[in-house]
Amino acid sequence: MKEEILRIENVSKEIDGNTYLDNINFQIFKGEIMGLLPLNNHGKSQLIQLISQNISIDFGRIYFDERLVNNYEYSNMRNNKVYLIDKQVKLIESLKVIDNIYVLNHEFDSYVINEKKLKEKTDELLEELSINIQSSQYVSELSLYEKTLVEIVKAITSGVQLIIILEISNFLSIEELINFQKLMKYYTQKGISFLYIANHHEEAFKICDRVCLFENGRVIKVIEKKDFSDDILKPYIITFENREGLKDENESSGNFEFKNFTSENLKGISFSVKAGECITILDINNKGIQDIAEILMGKIQPIEGNINLDHKRIDIIDTHSLLENKIAFVPEEPVDKMLFYDMSYLENLTFLLMDYKFDESIVNKKILKNIKEEYRNIVGGNIEAADLRKLDKKDLYNLVYMRIILLNPKIVFIMQPFSNADMYLRGRIIELINLLKEKGIGVVILAVSISDTLFVSDRLLIMEDGKILNI
Protein backbone atom coordinates (compact mmCIF):
# COMPACT_ATOMS: atom_id res chain seq x y z
CA MET A 1 0.00 0.00 0.00
CA LYS A 2 1.24 3.47 -0.92
CA GLU A 3 2.31 5.73 1.92
CA GLU A 4 0.68 9.15 2.09
CA ILE A 5 2.67 12.31 2.67
CA LEU A 6 -0.33 14.63 2.72
CA ARG A 7 -4.03 14.07 3.20
CA ILE A 8 -6.48 16.94 3.17
CA GLU A 9 -9.90 15.83 4.36
CA ASN A 10 -13.03 17.96 3.97
CA VAL A 11 -11.13 21.16 4.66
CA SER A 12 -12.90 24.51 4.49
CA LYS A 13 -11.52 27.92 5.31
CA GLU A 14 -13.23 31.27 5.45
CA ILE A 15 -11.61 34.68 5.85
CA ASP A 16 -13.82 37.65 6.69
CA GLY A 17 -16.91 35.83 5.48
CA ASN A 18 -15.36 34.78 2.13
CA THR A 19 -14.91 31.05 1.56
CA TYR A 20 -11.44 30.53 0.14
CA LEU A 21 -11.27 26.75 0.54
CA ASP A 22 -14.48 24.81 0.16
CA ASN A 23 -14.58 21.18 1.31
CA ILE A 24 -11.19 20.24 -0.15
CA ASN A 25 -10.32 16.56 -0.39
CA PHE A 26 -7.15 15.14 -1.86
CA GLN A 27 -4.02 13.25 -0.93
CA ILE A 28 -0.42 13.11 -2.17
CA PHE A 29 1.56 9.89 -1.93
CA LYS A 30 5.25 9.58 -1.18
CA GLY A 31 7.33 9.87 -4.34
CA GLU A 32 4.38 11.19 -6.32
CA ILE A 33 4.07 14.33 -8.45
CA MET A 34 0.55 15.61 -7.96
CA GLY A 35 -0.53 18.31 -10.39
CA LEU A 36 -2.83 21.18 -9.51
CA LEU A 37 -4.51 23.08 -12.33
CA PRO A 38 -6.15 26.21 -10.92
CA LEU A 39 -8.84 27.39 -13.32
CA ASN A 40 -8.92 30.62 -11.32
CA ASN A 41 -6.72 31.93 -8.55
CA HIS A 42 -9.40 32.00 -5.87
CA GLY A 43 -8.09 30.11 -2.84
CA LYS A 44 -4.81 29.09 -4.47
CA SER A 45 -2.53 31.06 -2.14
CA GLN A 46 -4.62 29.99 0.89
CA LEU A 47 -4.19 26.33 -0.10
CA ILE A 48 -0.41 26.75 -0.44
CA GLN A 49 -0.26 28.47 2.93
CA LEU A 50 -2.36 25.78 4.55
CA ILE A 51 -0.16 22.97 3.26
CA SER A 52 2.99 24.78 4.43
CA GLN A 53 1.72 25.83 7.85
CA ASN A 54 -0.93 24.49 10.19
CA ILE A 55 -3.05 27.64 10.31
CA SER A 56 -6.60 27.54 11.61
CA ILE A 57 -9.31 25.91 9.49
CA ASP A 58 -13.07 26.01 9.84
CA PHE A 59 -13.72 22.41 9.02
CA GLY A 60 -11.85 19.18 8.26
CA ARG A 61 -8.56 17.53 9.05
CA ILE A 62 -5.05 17.55 7.62
CA TYR A 63 -2.59 14.66 7.92
CA PHE A 64 1.09 15.13 7.11
CA ASP A 65 3.32 12.05 6.88
CA GLU A 66 0.33 10.05 8.17
CA ARG A 67 0.02 12.08 11.38
CA LEU A 68 -2.87 14.39 12.18
CA VAL A 69 -1.29 17.85 12.19
CA ASN A 70 -4.28 20.17 11.85
CA ASN A 71 -8.00 19.96 12.47
CA TYR A 72 -10.95 22.30 12.84
CA GLU A 73 -10.74 22.12 16.63
CA TYR A 74 -7.06 22.89 17.07
CA SER A 75 -4.33 24.31 14.82
CA ASN A 76 -0.81 24.39 16.25
CA MET A 77 0.47 26.98 13.72
CA ARG A 78 3.64 24.91 13.16
CA ASN A 79 5.32 24.63 9.77
CA ASN A 80 5.19 21.30 7.95
CA LYS A 81 8.22 19.89 6.13
CA VAL A 82 7.15 21.64 2.96
CA TYR A 83 9.10 24.00 0.69
CA LEU A 84 7.64 26.36 -1.90
CA ILE A 85 9.57 26.98 -5.09
CA ASP A 86 8.31 29.96 -7.03
CA LYS A 87 9.76 33.02 -8.73
CA GLN A 88 10.51 34.58 -5.36
CA VAL A 89 13.90 33.12 -4.52
CA LYS A 90 14.30 32.46 -0.79
CA LEU A 91 18.08 32.24 -0.71
CA ILE A 92 20.49 34.75 0.82
CA GLU A 93 22.02 36.44 -2.21
CA SER A 94 25.08 37.74 -0.39
CA LEU A 95 26.13 34.29 0.85
CA LYS A 96 27.71 31.38 -1.01
CA VAL A 97 25.90 28.31 -2.32
CA ILE A 98 27.40 26.11 0.43
CA ASP A 99 26.23 28.51 3.14
CA ASN A 100 22.72 28.49 1.73
CA ILE A 101 22.54 24.73 1.35
CA TYR A 102 24.18 23.62 4.58
CA VAL A 103 24.87 26.44 7.04
CA LEU A 104 21.48 28.16 6.79
CA ASN A 105 19.77 24.93 7.53
CA HIS A 106 18.22 23.93 10.83
CA GLU A 107 19.85 20.50 10.47
CA PHE A 108 23.31 22.15 10.66
CA ASP A 109 24.47 22.02 14.27
CA SER A 110 28.23 22.82 14.22
CA TYR A 111 29.26 26.08 15.80
CA VAL A 112 32.46 26.36 13.78
CA ILE A 113 32.10 26.13 10.02
CA ASN A 114 34.54 23.78 8.33
CA GLU A 115 34.29 25.32 4.89
CA LYS A 116 36.63 22.82 3.19
CA LYS A 117 34.63 19.84 4.38
CA LEU A 118 31.33 21.49 3.46
CA LYS A 119 32.63 22.38 0.02
CA GLU A 120 33.62 18.77 -0.66
CA LYS A 121 30.21 17.60 0.51
CA THR A 122 28.37 20.16 -1.61
CA ASP A 123 30.48 19.54 -4.72
CA GLU A 124 29.84 15.81 -4.38
CA LEU A 125 26.12 16.38 -4.06
CA LEU A 126 25.94 18.80 -7.00
CA GLU A 127 27.96 16.42 -9.15
CA GLU A 128 25.66 13.53 -8.28
CA LEU A 129 22.71 15.66 -9.39
CA SER A 130 24.57 16.80 -12.57
CA ILE A 131 24.19 20.41 -11.49
CA ASN A 132 26.96 22.51 -12.94
CA ILE A 133 27.32 25.17 -10.22
CA GLN A 134 30.41 26.07 -8.21
CA SER A 135 29.58 25.60 -4.54
CA SER A 136 31.79 28.55 -3.59
CA GLN A 137 29.88 30.93 -5.88
CA TYR A 138 27.77 33.66 -4.35
CA VAL A 139 24.05 33.20 -4.96
CA SER A 140 23.86 36.70 -6.43
CA GLU A 141 26.09 35.48 -9.28
CA LEU A 142 23.69 32.70 -10.28
CA SER A 143 20.95 32.80 -12.90
CA LEU A 144 17.34 32.39 -11.81
CA TYR A 145 17.38 28.78 -13.01
CA GLU A 146 20.54 28.00 -11.03
CA LYS A 147 19.03 29.62 -7.95
CA THR A 148 15.97 27.41 -8.36
CA LEU A 149 18.22 24.33 -8.47
CA VAL A 150 20.02 25.45 -5.32
CA GLU A 151 16.65 25.97 -3.63
CA ILE A 152 15.47 22.46 -4.37
CA VAL A 153 18.77 20.98 -3.11
CA LYS A 154 18.61 23.14 0.01
CA ALA A 155 15.03 22.06 0.65
CA ILE A 156 15.87 18.39 0.42
CA THR A 157 19.02 18.60 2.55
CA SER A 158 16.95 20.25 5.25
CA GLY A 159 14.63 17.26 5.37
CA VAL A 160 11.67 18.57 3.40
CA GLN A 161 9.33 15.83 2.22
CA LEU A 162 6.95 17.76 0.02
CA ILE A 163 7.90 20.49 -2.43
CA ILE A 164 5.34 22.82 -3.96
CA ILE A 165 6.34 23.98 -7.44
CA LEU A 166 4.40 27.09 -8.37
CA GLU A 167 4.01 28.02 -12.04
CA ILE A 168 7.63 27.35 -12.81
CA SER A 169 7.25 27.59 -16.60
CA ASN A 170 6.59 31.32 -16.12
CA PHE A 171 10.25 31.89 -15.40
CA LEU A 172 12.17 28.88 -16.72
CA SER A 173 12.82 28.40 -20.41
CA ILE A 174 11.75 25.23 -22.20
CA GLU A 175 15.27 23.79 -21.95
CA GLU A 176 15.60 24.70 -18.26
CA LEU A 177 12.16 23.28 -17.52
CA ILE A 178 13.09 19.92 -19.06
CA ASN A 179 16.24 19.72 -16.90
CA PHE A 180 14.37 20.81 -13.79
CA GLN A 181 11.70 18.18 -14.34
CA LYS A 182 14.45 15.53 -14.70
CA LEU A 183 15.71 16.57 -11.25
CA MET A 184 12.18 16.29 -9.87
CA LYS A 185 11.87 12.77 -11.28
CA TYR A 186 15.21 11.85 -9.67
CA TYR A 187 13.97 13.01 -6.28
CA THR A 188 10.65 11.19 -6.56
CA GLN A 189 12.67 7.98 -6.69
CA LYS A 190 14.11 9.00 -3.32
CA GLY A 191 10.59 9.33 -1.91
CA ILE A 192 10.21 13.11 -2.22
CA SER A 193 6.74 14.30 -3.25
CA PHE A 194 5.78 17.32 -5.32
CA LEU A 195 2.69 19.42 -5.74
CA TYR A 196 3.12 20.83 -9.23
CA ILE A 197 0.93 23.89 -9.80
CA ALA A 198 0.67 24.86 -13.45
CA ASN A 199 -1.60 26.97 -15.58
CA HIS A 200 -1.57 24.63 -18.56
CA HIS A 201 -2.71 21.04 -18.60
CA GLU A 202 -0.26 20.21 -21.41
CA GLU A 203 2.60 21.07 -19.06
CA ALA A 204 1.13 19.24 -16.06
CA PHE A 205 0.23 16.09 -18.04
CA LYS A 206 3.87 15.68 -19.12
CA ILE A 207 5.27 15.42 -15.60
CA CYS A 208 2.49 14.59 -13.13
CA ASP A 209 1.17 11.26 -11.91
CA ARG A 210 -2.27 12.69 -11.15
CA VAL A 211 -3.81 16.11 -11.67
CA CYS A 212 -6.57 17.85 -9.77
CA LEU A 213 -8.62 20.68 -11.19
CA PHE A 214 -9.16 23.53 -8.74
CA GLU A 215 -11.75 26.27 -9.10
CA ASN A 216 -13.22 28.77 -6.63
CA GLY A 217 -11.44 27.07 -3.74
CA ARG A 218 -12.76 23.60 -4.61
CA VAL A 219 -11.16 20.51 -6.09
CA ILE A 220 -13.59 19.81 -8.91
CA LYS A 221 -11.93 16.73 -10.39
CA VAL A 222 -8.94 14.45 -9.84
CA ILE A 223 -7.61 12.89 -13.05
CA GLU A 224 -5.47 9.75 -13.06
CA LYS A 225 -2.48 9.50 -15.43
CA LYS A 226 -4.19 6.88 -17.58
CA ASP A 227 -7.05 9.33 -18.24
CA PHE A 228 -4.88 12.29 -19.24
CA SER A 229 -6.32 13.73 -22.46
CA ASP A 230 -7.58 17.04 -23.79
CA ASP A 231 -11.09 15.58 -24.08
CA ILE A 232 -11.46 14.93 -20.37
CA LEU A 233 -10.81 18.60 -19.65
CA LYS A 234 -13.16 19.99 -22.29
CA PRO A 235 -16.14 20.53 -19.95
CA TYR A 236 -14.00 22.55 -17.56
CA ILE A 237 -11.74 24.80 -19.59
CA ILE A 238 -12.17 27.58 -22.09
CA THR A 239 -10.45 27.01 -25.41
CA PHE A 240 -8.95 30.00 -27.12
CA GLU A 241 -8.62 30.33 -30.85
CA ASN A 242 -6.26 32.29 -33.02
CA ARG A 243 -8.50 34.22 -35.37
CA GLU A 244 -6.02 34.33 -38.21
CA GLY A 245 -3.39 31.69 -37.52
CA LEU A 246 0.34 32.00 -37.96
CA LYS A 247 1.60 33.79 -41.06
CA ASP A 248 4.61 33.09 -43.17
CA GLU A 249 7.59 35.23 -42.17
CA ASN A 250 8.19 36.37 -45.74
CA GLU A 251 4.76 38.00 -45.90
CA SER A 252 5.80 40.86 -43.70
CA SER A 253 8.47 43.44 -43.94
CA GLY A 254 7.71 45.69 -41.06
CA ASN A 255 7.42 49.37 -40.36
CA PHE A 256 9.29 48.69 -37.12
CA GLU A 257 12.71 47.11 -37.37
CA PHE A 258 15.01 45.91 -34.64
CA LYS A 259 18.29 45.53 -36.51
CA ASN A 260 21.40 43.59 -35.66
CA PHE A 261 21.13 44.04 -31.89
CA THR A 262 24.10 42.81 -29.92
CA SER A 263 24.54 42.80 -26.17
CA GLU A 264 26.09 40.44 -23.65
CA ASN A 265 23.40 37.84 -24.38
CA LEU A 266 22.09 38.96 -27.80
CA LYS A 267 24.07 37.90 -30.84
CA GLY A 268 23.06 40.32 -33.56
CA ILE A 269 19.31 39.69 -33.63
CA SER A 270 17.05 41.33 -36.20
CA PHE A 271 13.29 41.28 -36.62
CA SER A 272 10.51 43.47 -37.90
CA VAL A 273 6.84 44.08 -37.10
CA LYS A 274 4.06 45.66 -39.10
CA ALA A 275 1.22 47.80 -37.81
CA GLY A 276 -1.49 45.60 -36.31
CA GLU A 277 0.74 42.53 -36.36
CA CYS A 278 1.74 40.43 -33.37
CA ILE A 279 4.97 38.46 -33.22
CA THR A 280 6.25 36.26 -30.41
CA ILE A 281 9.93 35.84 -29.67
CA LEU A 282 10.27 32.56 -27.82
CA ASP A 283 13.56 32.34 -25.97
CA ILE A 284 14.06 28.65 -25.45
CA ASN A 285 17.02 28.90 -23.10
CA ASN A 286 16.16 32.20 -21.43
CA LYS A 287 19.31 34.02 -22.48
CA GLY A 288 18.19 36.87 -24.67
CA ILE A 289 14.79 38.33 -23.94
CA GLN A 290 15.86 39.71 -20.56
CA ASP A 291 18.43 41.77 -22.45
CA ILE A 292 15.77 43.07 -24.86
CA ALA A 293 13.61 44.05 -21.88
CA GLU A 294 16.53 45.75 -20.13
CA ILE A 295 17.50 47.64 -23.29
CA LEU A 296 13.91 48.85 -23.60
CA MET A 297 13.88 49.95 -19.97
CA GLY A 298 17.19 51.75 -20.41
CA LYS A 299 18.94 49.55 -17.86
CA ILE A 300 21.62 48.36 -20.30
CA GLN A 301 22.95 49.76 -23.55
CA PRO A 302 23.39 47.52 -26.60
CA ILE A 303 26.91 47.06 -27.98
CA GLU A 304 25.53 47.65 -31.46
CA GLY A 305 22.27 47.65 -33.37
CA ASN A 306 19.58 50.14 -34.15
CA ILE A 307 15.84 50.57 -34.17
CA ASN A 308 14.00 51.93 -37.20
CA LEU A 309 10.42 53.07 -37.05
CA ASP A 310 8.80 53.97 -40.37
CA HIS A 311 12.31 53.92 -41.89
CA LYS A 312 13.46 56.56 -39.41
CA ARG A 313 16.28 55.63 -37.06
CA ILE A 314 15.47 56.03 -33.37
CA ASP A 315 18.22 56.89 -30.96
CA ILE A 316 17.26 55.35 -27.73
CA ILE A 317 17.55 54.29 -25.17
CA ASP A 318 15.57 55.02 -22.10
CA THR A 319 11.90 54.63 -21.36
CA HIS A 320 11.29 58.33 -21.89
CA SER A 321 12.73 58.40 -25.42
CA LEU A 322 10.94 55.15 -26.27
CA LEU A 323 7.59 56.60 -25.31
CA GLU A 324 8.38 59.83 -27.17
CA ASN A 325 8.89 57.64 -30.24
CA LYS A 326 5.59 55.85 -29.66
CA ILE A 327 7.11 52.61 -28.43
CA ALA A 328 5.63 51.21 -25.21
CA PHE A 329 6.79 48.42 -22.94
CA VAL A 330 4.60 46.27 -20.70
CA PRO A 331 6.64 44.30 -18.14
CA GLU A 332 5.84 40.84 -16.83
CA GLU A 333 2.97 40.88 -14.30
CA PRO A 334 2.39 44.55 -15.03
CA VAL A 335 -0.23 45.41 -12.44
CA ASP A 336 2.35 45.84 -9.69
CA LYS A 337 4.97 47.36 -11.97
CA MET A 338 2.90 49.85 -13.94
CA LEU A 339 0.12 51.03 -11.67
CA PHE A 340 0.13 53.63 -8.93
CA TYR A 341 -2.00 52.37 -6.08
CA ASP A 342 -2.09 55.78 -4.43
CA MET A 343 -3.75 57.29 -7.49
CA SER A 344 -7.30 56.89 -8.78
CA TYR A 345 -8.31 54.81 -11.81
CA LEU A 346 -8.64 57.90 -13.99
CA GLU A 347 -5.27 59.29 -12.88
CA ASN A 348 -3.66 55.96 -13.72
CA LEU A 349 -5.44 55.74 -17.05
CA THR A 350 -4.34 59.19 -18.13
CA PHE A 351 -0.91 59.15 -16.52
CA LEU A 352 1.12 59.00 -19.73
CA LEU A 353 -1.20 61.25 -21.68
CA MET A 354 -0.01 64.64 -20.47
CA ASP A 355 3.61 63.73 -21.13
CA TYR A 356 3.38 61.90 -24.41
CA LYS A 357 0.19 62.95 -26.15
CA PHE A 358 -0.78 66.48 -25.19
CA ASP A 359 2.54 67.71 -23.84
CA GLU A 360 0.75 69.94 -21.34
CA SER A 361 2.17 71.01 -18.01
CA ILE A 362 -1.14 71.70 -16.33
CA VAL A 363 -3.72 68.98 -15.95
CA ASN A 364 -6.58 69.82 -18.30
CA LYS A 365 -9.78 68.93 -16.47
CA LYS A 366 -11.89 69.18 -19.63
CA ILE A 367 -9.80 66.57 -21.43
CA LEU A 368 -9.92 64.32 -18.37
CA LYS A 369 -13.71 64.66 -18.27
CA ASN A 370 -14.02 63.69 -21.93
CA ILE A 371 -11.73 60.68 -21.48
CA LYS A 372 -13.71 59.67 -18.41
CA GLU A 373 -16.96 59.67 -20.35
CA GLU A 374 -15.45 57.87 -23.34
CA TYR A 375 -13.89 55.12 -21.26
CA ARG A 376 -16.89 54.72 -18.98
CA ASN A 377 -18.49 52.80 -21.86
CA ILE A 378 -15.51 50.45 -22.01
CA VAL A 379 -14.49 49.93 -18.38
CA GLY A 380 -17.83 50.75 -16.73
CA GLY A 381 -18.06 52.05 -13.18
CA ASN A 382 -14.40 51.29 -12.49
CA ILE A 383 -13.55 54.64 -14.07
CA GLU A 384 -14.79 56.24 -10.82
CA ALA A 385 -12.62 54.02 -8.59
CA ALA A 386 -10.54 56.04 -6.16
CA ASP A 387 -8.71 53.04 -4.72
CA LEU A 388 -7.25 50.45 -7.09
CA ARG A 389 -6.76 47.99 -4.24
CA LYS A 390 -10.49 47.25 -4.33
CA LEU A 391 -10.39 46.13 -7.97
CA ASP A 392 -9.73 42.57 -9.05
CA LYS A 393 -6.83 41.49 -11.20
CA LYS A 394 -8.87 41.41 -14.41
CA ASP A 395 -9.88 45.06 -13.95
CA LEU A 396 -6.27 46.01 -13.23
CA TYR A 397 -5.06 44.30 -16.40
CA ASN A 398 -7.80 46.17 -18.28
CA LEU A 399 -6.44 49.40 -16.86
CA VAL A 400 -2.85 48.60 -17.89
CA TYR A 401 -3.84 47.83 -21.49
CA MET A 402 -6.36 50.69 -21.74
CA ARG A 403 -3.60 53.10 -20.69
CA ILE A 404 -1.51 51.78 -23.58
CA ILE A 405 -4.43 52.01 -26.02
CA LEU A 406 -5.13 55.58 -24.91
CA LEU A 407 -1.51 56.47 -25.58
CA ASN A 408 -1.85 54.92 -29.06
CA PRO A 409 1.76 53.83 -29.59
CA LYS A 410 2.98 52.26 -32.82
CA ILE A 411 4.65 49.28 -31.15
CA VAL A 412 4.15 47.58 -27.79
CA PHE A 413 6.63 45.11 -26.34
CA ILE A 414 4.97 42.78 -23.85
CA MET A 415 7.06 40.66 -21.55
CA GLN A 416 5.48 37.28 -20.70
CA PRO A 417 1.88 38.55 -20.87
CA PHE A 418 0.29 35.39 -19.44
CA SER A 419 2.61 35.00 -16.50
CA ASN A 420 0.80 34.10 -13.27
CA ALA A 421 -2.61 34.52 -14.92
CA ASP A 422 -5.44 32.06 -14.37
CA MET A 423 -7.53 30.73 -17.26
CA TYR A 424 -10.13 33.51 -17.19
CA LEU A 425 -7.51 36.22 -16.95
CA ARG A 426 -5.56 34.67 -19.81
CA GLY A 427 -8.73 34.84 -21.89
CA ARG A 428 -9.06 38.53 -21.10
CA ILE A 429 -5.38 39.21 -21.89
CA ILE A 430 -5.86 37.55 -25.29
CA GLU A 431 -8.82 39.88 -25.94
CA LEU A 432 -6.78 42.90 -24.88
CA ILE A 433 -3.83 41.99 -27.13
CA ASN A 434 -6.25 41.48 -30.01
CA LEU A 435 -7.68 44.91 -29.23
CA LEU A 436 -4.19 46.40 -29.55
CA LYS A 437 -3.87 44.71 -32.95
CA GLU A 438 -7.27 46.00 -34.05
CA LYS A 439 -6.14 49.53 -33.20
CA GLY A 440 -3.25 49.06 -35.63
CA ILE A 441 -0.63 48.73 -32.91
CA GLY A 442 2.24 46.32 -33.59
CA VAL A 443 2.80 43.86 -30.74
CA VAL A 444 6.02 42.04 -29.85
CA ILE A 445 5.63 39.36 -27.18
CA LEU A 446 8.79 38.30 -25.37
CA ALA A 447 8.34 34.87 -23.80
CA VAL A 448 10.23 31.93 -22.36
CA SER A 449 7.22 29.64 -22.55
CA ILE A 450 4.90 29.27 -25.47
CA SER A 451 1.90 29.39 -23.10
CA ASP A 452 -1.03 31.07 -24.87
CA THR A 453 1.05 33.33 -27.07
CA LEU A 454 0.08 31.41 -30.19
CA PHE A 455 -3.55 32.47 -29.72
CA VAL A 456 -2.60 36.05 -30.52
CA SER A 457 0.59 35.73 -32.57
CA ASP A 458 0.82 36.10 -36.31
CA ARG A 459 4.42 34.93 -36.36
CA LEU A 460 6.68 32.99 -34.02
CA LEU A 461 10.42 33.61 -33.83
CA ILE A 462 12.55 31.14 -31.89
CA MET A 463 15.57 32.47 -30.07
CA GLU A 464 18.35 30.20 -28.85
CA ASP A 465 21.58 31.36 -27.20
CA GLY A 466 20.70 34.94 -28.11
CA LYS A 467 20.22 34.21 -31.83
CA ILE A 468 17.00 34.05 -33.83
CA LEU A 469 16.82 30.61 -35.45
CA ASN A 470 15.80 30.18 -39.05
CA ILE A 471 12.90 27.75 -39.01
Partner 1 sequence: MESNNSSKRFKRIFSKRGMGQVITVSIGLIMLIIVFGFLNPNFFSYRNISNLLRQIAPIILIGVGQSYVLITGNIDLSIGSVVGMSCMISATLMTKGMNPWLAVCISYISSIFIGILNGKLISKAKLPAFIATLGTMTIARGIAQIVNNNYNTDSIGAKAEGFRNFFYYGKTLGLYNTIWIALVMWLVFNFILSRTRTGRHIYAVGSNINAANLSGVNISSTITKAYLVSAVCSATVGLIITATSGMGTMDAGNGYELYAVASSVIGGVSTLGGQGILLGTIVGASIWGVLQNGLQFAGAPVAIRNIVIGIIVIISVLLDIVVRANKNVTKSKSKGKS
- Give dist(CA 471, CA 451) in Å, integer: 19
Which is nearer to partner 1, 232 or 368 (by Cβ)?
368
- Who contacts 63 (Cβ-Cβ below 8 Å, separation ≥6)? 4, 6, 7, 9, 69
Chain-centroid distance of CA 269 in Å reads 25
Question: Are the C-beta atoms of 86 and 170 separated by less than 8 Å?
Answer: no
In this structure, the number of other CB atoms found within 10 A of the CB of residue 236 comes to 14
Where does this chain touch partner 1 (CB under 8 A) — which range of 42-50, 92-100, 105-113, 130-138? 42-50
H or E stretch at 442: strand 442-447
The packing angle between helices 365-379 and 393-407, to 10°, is 130
Pairing relationship of beta strands 327-330 and 411-415 according to DSSP bridges: parallel
Near partner 1 by CB under 8 A: residue from 134, 347, 372, 435:
347
| Helix H or strand E encompassing 230 | helix 230-233
Pick out residues in 266-305 that bind partner 1 (CB under 8 A). 297
- Provide, rounded to whole angstroms, the least separation between the CB of residue 18 and partner 1: 7
Cβ closer to partner 1: 361 or 377? 361
- The residue type of 233 is L
Of 68, 220, 238, 363, which one interacts with partner 1 (CB under 8 A)? 363
Q: Under rule CB under 8 A, which residues in 387-416 are in contact with partner 1?
A: 387, 389-394
Determine phi and psi for 53, rounding to 5 degrees: -135, 145
Q: Smaller CB distance to partner 1: residue 29 or 356?
A: 356
Q: For residue 352, state whether it binds partner 1 (rule: CB under 8 A).
A: yes
Residue 329 contacts partner 1 per CB under 8 A? yes
Using the rule CB under 8 A, which residue among 355, 367, 368, 371 binds partner 1?
355
Asked whether position 337 contacts partner 1 by CB under 8 A, the answer is yes
Neighbours of 422 (CB within 10 A): 20
Closest to partner 1 by CB, 65 vs 395, is: 395
Q: CA-CA distances (angstroms) from residue 306 to 32, 182, 270, 326, 366?
A: 50, 40, 9, 16, 40
Residue of the chain from 3, 244, 251, 360 that contacts partner 1 (CB under 8 A): 360
CB of 363 to partner 1, least distance (A): 5
Q: Choose between 303 and 363: whose C-beta lies nearer to partner 1.
A: 363
In the complex, least distance from residue 360 CB atom to partner 1, rounded to whole angstroms: 7
- Residues 411-450 binding partner 1 (CB under 8 A) are 422, 425
Assess 15 for contact with partner 1 (CB under 8 A): yes
DSSP secondary structure of 251-298: G---SEEEEEEESSS-EEEEEEE-TT-EEEEEETTSSSHHHHHHHHTT
Q: Does 373 bind partner 1 (CB under 8 A)?
A: no
The one among 75, 262, 306, 319 contacting partner 1 by CB under 8 A: 319
How far is CA 129 from each of CA 126, 166, 183, 242, 374, rounded to the nearest angstrom? 5, 22, 7, 41, 59
Q: In the set 338, 411, 444, 448, which binds partner 1 (CB under 8 A)?
A: 338
**Residues 6 or more apart in contact with residue 377 via CB below 8 angstroms:** none
Residue 145: CB minimum distance to partner 1, A: 23
Question: Contact with partner 1 (CB under 8 A): which of 1, 2, 16, 377?
Answer: 16
- Which of residues 44 and 200 has its CB atom nearest to partner 1 in the complex? 44
Q: Which residues contact 52 (CB under 8 A, 6 or more apart)?
A: 79, 80, 82, 84, 164
Q: Tell me if 202 contacts partner 1 by CB under 8 A.
A: no
Residues in contact with partner 1 by the rule CB under 8 A? 15-16, 18, 20, 40-46, 297, 318-320, 322-324, 329, 331, 336-344, 347, 351-352, 354-356, 360-363, 386-387, 389-394, 422, 425
